[in-house]
Amino acid sequence: MKLYGYWRSSAAYRVRIALNLKKIAYEYIAVDLLKDGGEQHSDDFHQINATELVPVLVDGDMRISQSLNIIDYLDDHYFPPQLTPVAGQDRYTAKEIAQDIAIDIHPLNNLRVQQYLISQEEFTEQDELDWVKHWIMVGFEALEEKLLRSSGAYCVGTQLTVADVCLVPQVYNALRFGVDLSFYPTIERLYHSLNEMSEFKLAAPENQPDAPTKKPPIE
């Protein structure tokens, strides 16, 4: 199995967590979203995914993009653990939270959106950061309310689901943009407890082979 991703891509981060939870070994192929205008726009990658976005999963002759779709594929073929509960309210709550994040919150802070905004004359870099932060906070306000009702040890009661797999990467993004998590105590609690798990730790951006190596501070 091959995963085309980028260390700081939160959509690829979701898939890395799912693969780790399911204990699936995979080859990681880094697509540098910044180098030379972005390798996602190269002809080679365009042939792999015409939308020019990561992640893409290749499993034998199957080629799948869209992180939630990839997680569905993994659930269908590589159970357990089943990340989308099979029935009942929990199934739809888990999907709802995952979609709130992946469909409503994340796209507004995606790289190509930021690049477009910054290219507009009237937008300063600070305006762009404020814009991203604003939309994450709008999303988190509602998410906090939902999680207050639905969560136990995990986003949805006591079962680890696709909602948890989406939450951690989105919080990672929020922290990058300076969102103060103390406004969202349930999100903060879940983020820290999920990050105790080795499957989440291993999937973290800084633990990817394409993450820039940290240099010691110059003394």
Ligand X SMILES: N[C@@H](CCC(=O)N[C@@H](CS)C(=O)NCC(=O)O)C(=O)O
Closest residue (Cβ) to ligand X? 112
Smallest gap from residue 30 Cβ to ligand X (A): 12
Q: Which is nearer to ligand X, 38 or 157 (CB)?
A: 38
If the CB atoms of residues 20 and 170 are measured against ligand X, the closer one turns out to be 170
Which residue lies nearer to ligand X by CB, 18 or 194?
Answer: 18
Q: Positive or negative, the Cα torsion across 115, 3, 105, 188?
A: negative
Query: What is the nearest approach in angstroms of ligand X to the Cβ of residue 209?
Result: 17
The crossing angle, in degrees rounded to 10, of helices 162-176 and 125-150 is 150
Residue 123: exposed, middle, or buried by beta-carbon count in 10 A (0-12, 13-18, 19+)?
middle
Instruction: Please name which of 176, 184, 179 lies closest in space to residue 204, comparing C-alpha atoms.
Output: 176
Q: How far apart are CA 154 and CA 117, in angstroms?
A: 35
The minimum distance between CB 78 and ligand X, in angstroms, equals 18
- Minimum separation from the CB atom of position 60 to ligand X (A): 20
How far apart are alpha carbons 88 and 202 in whole angstroms? 31
Residue number, 18 or 21, with CB nearest to ligand X: 18
Which spans of this chain sit near ligand X (rule: CB under 6 A)? 9-11, 33, 38, 40, 53-55, 66-68, 102, 110-112
